[in-house]
Chains A and B, each alone.
Chain A
Amino acid sequence: MSAAALPAAETSPANASRGILLMLLLPGLIALVITFLLPLIWLLRASFASSTMGALSGGDWTVQSYSTVLFDPFYWRVAWNTLVLGFNVAIFAVILSYPIALFLARTESRFRGVLTALAVAPLLTSSVVRTYGWMVILGDRGVINSTLQSLSLTGGVIRLTNNSLGATVALIEILMPYAILAMLSGFGRLNTQLEEAAAMLGANRLRVFTRIILPLSAPGVLTAALLVFVLAISSFVTPRLMGGGRVFVLGTEVFNEATVTLNWPLAAALSVMLLILFSSIILLYQRALRALET
């Protein structure tokens, strides 16, 4: 009974309700096709176009861009850098986010809402702004270096920016809210009653953690790791600014080919590679999740 749609639609002729449905769907679908579906198709097409400067040339198909990517050792190094960055960021972001997520999932504090908002809110501040914050913290005359110097702990400046270390640290912090959010939704099955039950059955706190909390939170942790990894390997604003042009990852190279070198077919081919990397990681993740659940 409750399955009935807007009842007026049912009493009026069927084609009228189809007309209404079309009216509801069309604007959004057109917008999504233009801004999502079409770009992906174009991207694929462009990656097979010849690399004449700037514009796409007509109807010719070539694998030139792909062969450039596959046979130039530079791009192999870029791909390797990207993967290393992705793994480092994912591992540390998950380790640092886990306690916060666990705390938020279990706390009965009346500030829980505020604390959750505080942990998640950075998502809604521009990544450019937060990258700038890390430039201030890690810069040559930034928070860390000036503190160390005023304490006379170091003689000279420790280089924390313009290298992959800075990019990694900044990305860890920038992507942590995603990890926290993913874990929080994954921790739904955790509750203090389970822990109390385990404790009453004689488990000490370490065993409660390893036998109850860790297994139950594993899927959430896995989701968080995946999310952070895929966001890290496709980032370019933070690696570009924190790396000062000395960090080469897929994101920065795509941007470079698209806006500086203006080799759009190459930019497209690199994007397709990134997309393939992305999809294979997601497939692996689904395998892993299924393995965890059985």
Chain B
Amino acid sequence: MADHHVVIDNLVKTYPGAQKPSVDHVSFSLPRGEMLALLGPSGCGKTTILRMIAGLIAPTSGAIRLEGKDVSSIAVYKRNMGMVFQAYALFPHMTVAQNISFGLEMRKVGRAEREERVRKALDLVKLTGLGDRKVSQLSGGQQQRAAIARSLVIEPELLLLDEPLSNLDAKLRDEMRDEIRDIQARTGVTAIFVTHDQDEALSMADRLAVMSAGRLEQVGTPREIFDRPQTEFVASFIGAGTFFEGQVAEPGLAVVEGLKSLRFVGEAPVGSTVKLMIRPHRLVLADSAGQPNSFTGTVEHIVYRGQILTLNIRCGGRLLQADLPTHAGVLPEKGDEVTLAVAAQDVTLVGQVAP
């Protein structure tokens, strides 16, 4: 971690007059060339972290290290960051080329070199030939590209993106998602982006940092975050799932009220109370009610979603959500009694209370 390109070390931000810190001892790091998503609900402090890294606001305590050097006391305009703002914040009184050229001008780059680099940046974001357009003449997607070009042309230490896709319509969003990923990979720039959209985070980032109420909940690859959420918040914020609370009767086995026992994978002392979670798509139709980790109940509600069928099953006084593939033979109907089973490794331990 110490030799990582970007290290965020125990960052705290408490706004004057606020009771609780907006950002509470957050630490994470990125190797060079990685793309990290800061994910969380609005107000969780993710944008505050981004703005502290950019230098737009000062941290209350903690350090932001680039190549091992603390930059938190360096003025914003000397930090050499690139930032794509949520609504792009393009300069409305300048052309596209002037927007992109602005950072180079501030760095006193000569005119000839400036023109050359602006041209290359325009090519990179596929805006070739649109340099003379006014900002207002660009579509939403083109403005997005111009904003990316403006922040990359200065060859920043770090590229910061604040909710980069939130201002685009659904179709454009998918296109730009791939595009941003592609540009980041080609330039090899280290990047951090902020989002509240789990799909966006899972599909674009190398790793995710999930936040809640100013605290960092979990950092990991998309797969780790989705399949092995370590906290109840992460488990409920990302993807759907059914939660159970139970008493550990023996290692790997918990007794859940109103159900039989549930086998799970994970370390929890006997006698402790655990929180367990099952993803809907991990449940499968079972033949008999006898086998372990199976649930029998009545189908209460069905939603047909094309490739999958979402069932709400009333089982021992609780509601269980299951996603079944629609090609799985005979599908249950509303009112049917069904039995579902789950493998022990798909029952995730997301929290525990010591006895």
Contact = CB atoms under 8 A, between A and B. Distances in A.
B76 interface: yes
B58 interface: yes
Contact of A1 (B47, B55, B75): B47
A8 B79 CA distance: 13
Contacts, number: 21
Q: Is the interface of A mostly helix, strand, loop or mixed?
A: helix
Contact of A4 (B57, B75, B77): B57
B51 interface: yes
Interface residues of B, number: 10
Contacts of B321: none
A8 B51 contact: no
Nearest to A12: B75
Q: Indicate the size class of the contact surface on chain A.
A: under 10
Contacts of B55: 7, 11
B167 to A, nearest CB: 16
B89 interface: no
Contacts of A11: 55, 57-58, 75-76
B56 interface: yes
Contacts of A7: 55-57, 76
A1 B51 contact: yes
Contacts of B48: 1
Contacts of A12: 75
A1 B42 CA distance: 12
Interface in B18-54: 47-48, 51
Interface string B111-149: 000000000000000000000000000000000000000
A1 B52 CA distance: 11
A227 B118 CA distance: 57
Interface in A6-55: 7-8, 10-12
Given A1-B47, A1-B51, A10 B57 contact: yes
B58 A8 contact: no
Contacts of A8: 75-77
A208 B58 CA distance: 59
Interface string B50-82: 010001111000000000000000011100000
A269 to B, nearest CB: 49
A293 to B, nearest CB: 33
The 4 A-B residue pairs whose C-beta atoms are closest, nearest first, are A7-B56, A11-B58, A10-B58, A1-B47
21 contacts: A1-B47, A1-B48, A1-B51, A4-B51, A4-B56, A4-B57, A7-B55, A7-B56, A7-B57, A7-B76, A8-B75, A8-B76, A8-B77, A10-B57, A10-B58, A11-B55, A11-B57, A11-B58, A11-B75, A11-B76, A12-B75
Given A10-B58, A11-B57, 6 more contacts: A4-B57, A7-B55, A8-B75, A10-B57, A11-B76, A12-B75
Interface of B: 47-48, 51, 55-58, 75-77
